[in-house]
Amino acid sequence: MTHALVVIDVQTGFCPGGNLAVPDGDAVVPGINALMDGFAHVVLTQDWHPAGHSSFASAHDGRAPYDVVAMPYGPQVLWPDHCVQGTADAAFHPDLRTDRARAIVRKGMNPAIDSYSAFFENDRTTPTGLEGLLRTLGVTDLTLVGLATDFCVNYSALDAARLGFATTVREDLTRAIDLDGSLAAARDAMRGAGVALA
């Protein structure tokens, strides 16, 4: 068994003061840092949108953040502009350790498709390359932590389980956006997919 830690989107933009702040988001940083040395491999992900990304409400006339629109790949929540490539909002939280990161996987770079999951864009088929990286490293088991529990952590965990990785989410090291019950729905979905919630 080879175990990797995947740290999802611990970025300034998702922490208090950021453009899409997750309540208490920065509270996960010390615990995640402390966890890293126990894993054979550590991968960090980064939400990394081009300006004007189609997941931004500002890109849709007459729409407000948190509206849901139909995209060719399914329903899409519209967000405040966040994590634009190269901006301070897209940087890792300044206290997040990056020394043990084998790789940084960036996602949400396609202007037309959002990407919550670390593995696939929201069409559920366009890969980010993370699966290949983990498989060539011989990784069998994954622990996921980071932001946000009910979006990027959730979709990453569901894809990880679907791909056959033994998958654990350390819920104490995640924080949620919780739009209209999305946290409860995410927990049910993860449990149903065989993800261990620890």
Q: Catalytic site residues?
A: 9, 107, 152
The CB-of-95 to ligand VGL minimum distance in angstroms stands at: 18
Q: Does 150 contact Zn ion by CB under 5 A?
A: no
Q: How far is the CB of 185 from Zn ion (least distance, A)?
A: 19
Residue whose pair of structure tokens reads 């407000």 in the numeric block: 64
Residue 83 CB, nearest approach to ligand VGL (Å):
7
Residue 9 interaction partner, one of ligand VGL, Zn ion, none, beta carbon < 5-8 Å per kind: ligand VGL
Sheet strand arrangement including 101-107: 101-107, 41-47, 3-8, 141-147, 166-175, 196-197
Contact by Cβ (8 Å): 76, 114? yes
CA-based angle 16:22:28, to the nearest 5? 80
Query: What residue ranges bind ligand VGL (CB under 6 A)?
Result: 9, 14, 47, 79, 116, 147-148, 151-152
CA distances 78 to 3, 12, 62, 93, Å, are: 34, 19, 12, 23
Rounded Cα distance, 195 and 17, in Å: 31
x-marked contacts with Zn ion along 95-114 as a string, rule CB under 5 A: -------------x------
Closest approach, Cβ 7 to Zn ion, in A, equals 16
Give whichever of 39 and 116 is closer to ligand VGL, judged by the CB atom.
116
From Zn ion, ligand VGL, none, interface partner of 148 (C-beta below 5 to 8 A by class): ligand VGL
Do 82 and 49 touch, CB atoms closer than 8 A? yes
Q: Using the rule CB under 5 A, is 47 a contact of Zn ion?
A: yes
What residues make contact with Zn ion under the rule CB under 5 A? 47, 108
